[in-house]
Structure 1
Amino acid sequence: MRPFEYHRAGSVADATTHAASGAARFIAGGTNLLDLMKLDIERPERLIDISRLPLDAIEENEDGGLRIGALVSNADLAADLRVRRDHGVLSRALLSGASGQLRNKATTAGNLLQRTRCYYFYNPALPCNKREPGSGCSAIGGRNRIHAILGGSAQCIATHPSDMAVAMMALSAEVEVMSAGGEGRRLPLAELYRLPGDTPHIETVLNPGDLITAVLLPAPLKGRHIYRKVRDRASYAFALVSVAAVIKMDGATIGAARLAFGGLAPMPWRDRAVEDVLIGQSPSSALWNKAADRLLAEAKGYGENDFKSVLVRKTLASVLSDASVREI
């Protein structure tokens, strides 16, 4: 591990100011960053410890939504009674990720910003544009079973690993950000991430010194909440395909639908056109296929990951079938 400076932040302003210059990283749980530092993939010159900042509360908003502090642990968020009651898809997604020990340490903001688990990104001996811009993408033409079929580019086809972020995308979450200049802003979670394009090493729209202070969930959507994760083993494995769904029936037809997908793209993936296919329609196998056709209209496999198109089609059909016939 390379030497670095360490600063324990006493306030949000202190944290953002110290992170605005130099190769600085925020650290709280450290469940991803420390591994990357040990592998010499992340090389921060300064670590800003924000773990003692007062950002660990879950508060109710006037509209019934929630403000989730950036430092709320994944375990505490999954166990919160309001989350379990009103945002069940989020609790289920959190409990499907990592292990109990990691969920006790991992934080809400850290989970959103964790980096890909691409084999080649984690191996400094092999080319990776995300790790070293311009070096090439080893996954294209290589072992790409876990890689993206949506949203990738000729420079990178790595997937985003978070389960929590997929559920939050389906719930139309927003992130609250504080800049080094003391200016706060809110942006939809979908606008936090950047697709790889020609700059796969730039993963978010955050500027140096920007700190996520909270995640905001809108008023809960009543209906059936499902999170289904297909993976190679039952625990401690990242999704090959996952589906977060909130479906509200209006009699015999679908009155509202929110869908997001994991394991398919460089960011948690939500396509509103897929939801539009479902709204106002009666549940049927033909409708599930139509929704999947829309989702996969621009999908591209790279050999070993071609199976994901079939897998997500079947997973989506299973989730929608369950959501349209029983309460979750």
Structure 2
Amino acid sequence: MRPFDFQRADGLDHASQLCADRDSKPIAGGTNLIDLMKLQVETPQTLVDIHRLPMGQIADTDDGGLRIGALASNTATAVHDRVRSEYPLLARAILAGASQQLRNKATTGGNLCQRTRCYYFMNIDQPCNKREPGSGCGALKGIARLHAVLGTSDQCIATYPGDMAVAMSALGATVEIADASGKSRSVPVRDFHCLPGDTPWRDNVLEEGELITAVILPSPVEARQLYRKVRERSSYAFAMVSVAAVVALEDGRFSRADLAFGGLAHKPWHDPRLSEVLLNKEPSAQLFDEAADVLLDSAQGYGENDFKIPLARRTLAAVLAEATGMEL
């Protein structure tokens, strides 16, 4: 780890001003950033301590939703009474990630901003356009078992590793963001993360000096909520494929079908076409297969991760079958 300066922010404005320097990074739980600093993947000159700022509350919103502060720990969110009863999808997704010790430290904002665990990104001796623009993508012709099959480019095929954001995407959550001037903006979770394109080093839409202040969950609806994570072992492993689903039936037909996927792309993957395929139709194996065709119509494997394409198809069908009480 390289030497760095450590400064403690005394307010949100102060934190944003300190973080406006491109060589500065905010730190709260530090569960991802410290690991990257030890590997010299991240080498900030200044760490800005924000963990004492008053952004850890979880509170009701005026319209019946829930506001989760950026510094609320993953554990506090997962065990919150309203999350467990009205947004169980989110609780299950959080509990499917990391370990209890990490969830106790990891924060809502930090979880959203975590970086890929691509082998080439994590190893400074390997080429990686995300870490060193223009150096190439070692994964394209290398070890790609965990890598993306959707939304890739010839610059990067890394995946977003988190679970929480996948659930928030299916729930239609919104990210609150503030900058050094005191201005704030809101971005849907579905639009917060970036695909690699020609700028693989850009993980999300945050500009320099901007900080996440909260995530807003919309008011809950009557629907079945499921999260299924397929991984190589039962704990402490990243998703090969995960599916978050908010599904409702009316008169035996889909009246709601909001789906998001992890492990398949550089961001939590949400394709609105799936709802169009499913809505107002009766559940059936054929319909689930049609939805998978749409989801995977542009999927591309890179050898070692080819298995993810049929795995995503089977996992989607299994989740939809469970949500609708249908046997495949």
Alignment-derived partner of residue 272 in structure 1: 272
Distance 1:187 1:312 in 2: 27
Alignment-derived partner of residue 109 in structure 1: 109
Alignment-derived partner of residue 293 in structure 1: 293
Alignment-derived partner of residue 217 in structure 2: 217
Alignment-derived partner of residue 71 in structure 1: 71
Distance 1:51 1:9 in 2: 9
Distance 1:193 1:316 in 2: 22
Distance 2:60 2:266 in 1: 31
Stretches of 4+ aligned residues off by more than 4 angstroms: none
1:184 maps onto 2:184 in alignment: yes
Instruction: Report the 3-state secondary structure (helix = DSSP H, G, I; strand = E; otherwise coil) of the residue aligned with 1:291.
Output: helix
Alignment-derived partner of residue 154 in structure 1: 154
Alignment-derived partner of residue 124 in structure 1: 124
* Residue identity in the other structure for 1:245: A
Alignment-derived partner of residue 60 in structure 2: 60
Residues 139-187 of structure 1 show CA distances to partners (whole Å, capped at 9, x for unaligned) of: 0011101100001100000000010000000011111000111111111
Alignment-derived partner of residue 260 in structure 1: 260
- Unpaired runs of 5+ in structure 2? none
Distance 2:159 2:245 in 1: 20
Contact kept? 1:221, 1:246, Cα under 8 Å: no
Once the two structures are TM-superposed, the CA of residue 21 in structure 1 deviates from its matched residue by 2.0
Q: How do residues 73-112 of structure 1 correspond to structure 2 at under 5 angstroms?
A: 73-112=73-112
Alignment-derived partner of residue 46 in structure 1: 46
Once the two structures are TM-superposed, the CA of residue 191 in structure 1 deviates from its matched residue by 1.9
Distance 2:249 2:22 in 1: 52
Distance 1:233 1:188 in 2: 32
Instruction: Report the 3-state secondary structure (helix = DSSP H, G, I; strand = E; otherwise coil) of the residue aligned with 2:120.
Output: coil
Alignment-derived partner of residue 241 in structure 2: 241
The two structures have a TM-score, normalised by structure 1, of: 0.98
Distance 1:317 1:204 in 2: 30
Once the two structures are TM-superposed, the CA of residue 277 in structure 1 deviates from its matched residue by 0.7
Once the two structures are TM-superposed, the CA of residue 284 in structure 1 deviates from its matched residue by 0.3
The two structures have a TM-score, normalised by structure 2, of: 0.98
Cα RMSD of the aligned pairs, angstroms, is 0.8
Contact kept? 1:192, 1:204, Cα under 8 Å: yes
* Residue identity in the other structure for 1:120: Y
Once the two structures are TM-superposed, the CA of residue 251 in structure 1 deviates from its matched residue by 2.0
Aligned residues: 326
Residues 13-40 of structure 1 show CA distances to partners (whole Å, capped at 9, x for unaligned) of: 1100111124110000000000000100
- Unpaired runs of 5+ in structure 1? none
10-19 vs 235-244, greater mean Cα deviation: 10-19
Distance 1:234 1:222 in 2: 30
Matched-pair identity in % = 56
* Residue identity in the other structure for 1:66: L
Distance 1:98 1:193 in 2: 20
Instruction: Report the 3-state secondary structure (helix = DSSP H, G, I; strand = E; otherwise coil) of the residue aligned with 1:139.
Output: helix
Distance 2:286 2:63 in 1: 37
Distance 1:80 1:205 in 2: 28
Once the two structures are TM-superposed, the CA of residue 325 in structure 1 deviates from its matched residue by 1.5
Alignment-derived partner of residue 174 in structure 2: 174
Instruction: Report the 3-state secondary structure (helix = DSSP H, G, I; strand = E; otherwise coil) of the residue aligned with 1:167.
Output: helix
Contact kept? 1:4, 1:45, Cα under 8 Å: yes
